[in-house]
Amino acid sequence: MKVVVQRSKKAQVSVDGKLINEIDHGLVLLVGFTEGDDSAKIRAMARKVANLRIFDDELGVMNKSILDVGGAILSISQFTLYGDATKGNRPSYIKAMKGDKAIVLYEEFNAELNKYVKTLPGVFGADMEILITNSGPVTILLEI
């Protein structure tokens, strides 16, 4: 399981020009799954994301989590996180979990995150447009 975490001042997801979800302050997650991912990894990743200290404290040091500062999470499914371009120029996505299995884990992950902080999803498998005002910028890659 891979998650790209971006600290965001504002973000939104649209499909076919229709706004699906948006947040004003919090985190944008790009979420990918591979074979072997399971509920235990989902719980561990949700806990890691919720407690990740990438928000500034009173001294300007990244020492606070989203739990400390409030806000919400915009969670976007992203199978291309498992793209492998080591051979040639066209990435292979063979390591990405198949959609019928990945959607179950994506929904479970979002439900687990919702136990910590309000989490809004994109549309699994859709051609989405994501607008992100990255704060910092702060971008962290997590892998479990």
- Partners of residue 141 on adjacent β-strands: 4
Q: Is 79 a catalytic residue?
A: yes
Q: 12-18 — which CB contacts under 8 Å span 24+ positions?
A: 12/74, 12/130, 12/131, 13/74, 13/76, 13/122, 13/123, 13/128, 13/129, 13/130, 14/128, 14/129, 14/131, 15/122, 15/123, 15/126, 15/127, 15/128, 15/129
Q: Is 119 a catalytic residue?
A: no
Q: Which of 6, 12, 34, 78 is catalytic?
A: 78
Give the SS3 label for residue 35. coil
Q: Which of 55, 79, 109, 119 is catalytic?
A: 79
Structure tokens at 106: 């994506």
Amino acid sitting at position 100: D
Catalytic residue ranges: 78-80
